[in-house]
Amino acid sequence: MELVKNFSQSKVFKNLLIAFIGTILLAISSKIKIPFYPVPMTMQTLVVLLIGIGFGWKLGVATVSLYLLEGIIGLPVFSGTPEKGIGMAYFTGTTMGYLIGFLVAVFFAGKFIYQDNIIINFLKLTFATSFIYLFGILWLGMLIGWDKPLFQFGAQPFLLAELFKILLATFAIKQINYLKRKF
C-alpha cells in the first residue's frame, strides 16, 4: 500500500514539474519576437501545439491553464507584459480570445492520434490552431464591434507565420513521440 501511495505522489509531483516547465516554455516563447511579414511572430502557438503533442491532452490543458492563471494573477508571462499591463486587466484585453483558444488548441493537439502521414498530421494541427483564431476573432468582435473587418485585424496578419509554425510542429511529431517513449 505504501508503494502505491509513493508512486502516486511521485507521479503527481512529476506532472506538476512538467506543467511548470511547460509554463516557463510558454512564457519564454511569448517574449521571443521574430521579424516576420506582415507582423512579428512569437513562438507561443508553436509551443502550445508541442505541449499538446508531447504532454497529451490532460497534462497539456493543465499546463496551459496554469500558464493562464499565472498571467491572470499578475506574473508577466504573456506577450506584451509588463509593458502593456499585467494581470486580469491585460488578460481581458484584446488577446483574451486567443489565450482561451490556447486551451482548445492544446486539447486537440493532445487528443489526436498522429499518423505516419504528414498531410493528415498537418491538417490535424491546422484544425487545432484554428481555434486560437476563432476564439480570438470572436472576442475581438465583442470588444471592438462586429462591423469591423475582424478577420483582417485578428487573423490574416498571422496566417503565414502560423503556417510556418504548424509545419515545424508537424515535422517534430516523430521526434516528440520518440522522446515520449524514452521517458
Residues 49, 51, 53, 57, CA torsion sign: negative
Tens of pLDDT, residue by residue over 155-166, are 999 999 999 999
Rounded to an integer, what distance in angstroms lies between the CA atom of residue 161 and that of residue 131? 16
State the DSSP H helix or E strand holding residue 57, giving kind and residue range, or none if neither: helix 44-72
**What's the pLDDT at 40?**
77
**What's the pLDDT at 181?**
87
Q: Give the three-state DSSP class for 47.
A: helix
pTM > 0.85: yes or no: yes
**What percent of the chain has a predicted confidence (pLDDT) above 90?**
80
Rounded to an integer, what distance in angstroms lies between the CA atom of residue 68 and that of residue 132? 14
Q: What is the mean pLDDT of each run of 10 residues along the chain (183 residues)?
A: 60 94 97 82 96 97 98 95 92 95 98 93 98 97 93 92 97 93 82
**What's the pLDDT at 10?**
87
Instruction: Write the class of the CATH domain 12-182.
Output: mainly alpha
**What's the pLDDT at 183?**
74
**What's the pLDDT at 39?**
72
Rounded to an integer, what distance in angstroms lies between the CA atom of residue 97 and that of residue 110? 20
Q: How far is CA 127 from CA 13, 107, 130, in A?
A: 32, 11, 5
